[in-house]
Amino acid sequence: MTAALISPATPLTEDRPAHRDPNVLRWLTAYTSSMLGDGVYYLALSWAAVQAGSPAQAGVVMSVSALPRALLMLGGGVLADRLGPRAVVIGSDAVRCAAVLAVAALLFLTSPGLWPLAALALVFGTVDAVFMPAVGALPVRLTGKGQLARVQGMRGLAIRFSTVLGAPLGGLGVAVGGPAAAFGLAGLLIAVSIPLLVSVRTRDLPRDDSADAGPSTPLGDLATGLRYIRGHRVLAPLMLAIALGDLGFVGPLNVGLTLLADRRGWGASGMGWVLAGFGVGAGAAALVLTVRGRVPRAGLVTGCSCVAGSVAVGSLAFVPTLAAAVGAALAVGLLTGLSGALCGALLQTQSDPACLGRVSAVAGLVSLGLAPLGMPFAAAAIGAWGPGPVYLVSAVVCGLGGVVALVVPALRRAELPG
């Protein structure tokens, strides 16, 4: 891969605090609007699929996007590195906007059944495979490396805001004008991000030529990126830590929590309170990073917070009351939110910019492709042995991610730039 394949960038010479940088704020507004559109889209898709088919068919429609996302994620990382993350994010949002608005128009004019919904889900999954690595590779090109922890905090706040507001907006759209109106609202929210992203400037970054060794073909670039991660003394153990942390976290906080709430008699409202506690904790962690801007001894803090968060995960199955479960979930959100944001910042600061799209793709594949595979096993195990043993095993697996961060010297000593 040659330097000509990296998208042109405007040098940014001033390292302003990210929360006061208009360039970063334009990107953050675009990202928030795009994520809000995603939240409205997912509610509209699920509602329209249930109305158009059976529950089983609706489930298939909702899961269609997972396969292309998993299969194409690594290729999306190569594309982000070849074309530049800014161009890929703009193109991805443009395609998603056009697809959603087309389905909105189709639903407004006729009742076509499930096929356009399945096609839309397939398009979203395919586009997500290139969008997610590019989103992960973009922040380091917007601001100085010393601001990346703050940017991760700001991004976390945007995600929490979008999660809280997206579903109610989608429900309002369905209530006012049906799925067609909700899809139209989703498309408009995604459309808002495009001119903002066009106005965002990116910086040229120094590159390590060793990261680009190898044939300049897509497969060659992918192989080079994987070799780069495997040989890196910080990124390789960091990927293992992320994989273990997510694998132990996803089951208990998704399908496991539903089963736990049912067994304890908390009901849907109780599960909602537990999830709210988690959201508040994760939001607090994002706010702390936004305000502080930098966490000293980032590798050590990542490992410690992951280990402590795993203890909080395990405690969820043993707390005696709903109030205690909400408190435990708040601790889980705070600690895992902190470790997750620091992992993201370390990935960006430790990676060579020429490989950052591929590094982000591998991290995304681990979190979104491999970790969810544990959910059916967690559900089956809870049915067979109850929540206690499953939550304990999950906590141990999650904690091993923190242990990796603590026992590998290069990762434990990793620092974020000041």
Q: What is the pLDDT of residues 66-121, one digit of tens each?
A: 888 888 999 999 999 999 999 999 999 999 999 999 999 998 888 777 888 999 99
User: How far is the C-alpha of 327 from the C-alpha of 145, rounded, in Å?
Assistant: 34
- The pLDDT of residue 51 is above 70: yes
Structural domains for the chain: 16-196 (1.20.1250.20), 216-412 (1.20.1250.20)
Q: Is residue 192 within 8 Å of 33, Cβ to Cβ?
A: yes
**Per-residue H/E/C for 128-141:** HHHHHHHHHHCHHH
User: 349-388 burial, b if ≥16 CB within 10 A, otherwise e?
Assistant: bbbbbbbbbbbbbbbbbbbbbebbebeeebbebbeeeebe
User: Which amino acid, 187?
Assistant: G
User: How far is the C-alpha of 162 from the C-alpha of 291, rounded, in Å?
Assistant: 20
Q: What is the pTM of this model?
A: 0.86
Measured torsion, CA atoms of residues 413, 238, 284, 326, in degrees rounded to the nearest 10: -120
Over the stretch 316-372, which tens digit does the pLDDT of each residue have?
999 989 999 999 999 999 999 999 999 998 998 899 888 999 999 999 888 877 777
* pLDDT at residue 202 in the model: 87
User: How far is the C-alpha of 146 from the C-alpha of 345, rounded, in Å?
Assistant: 10
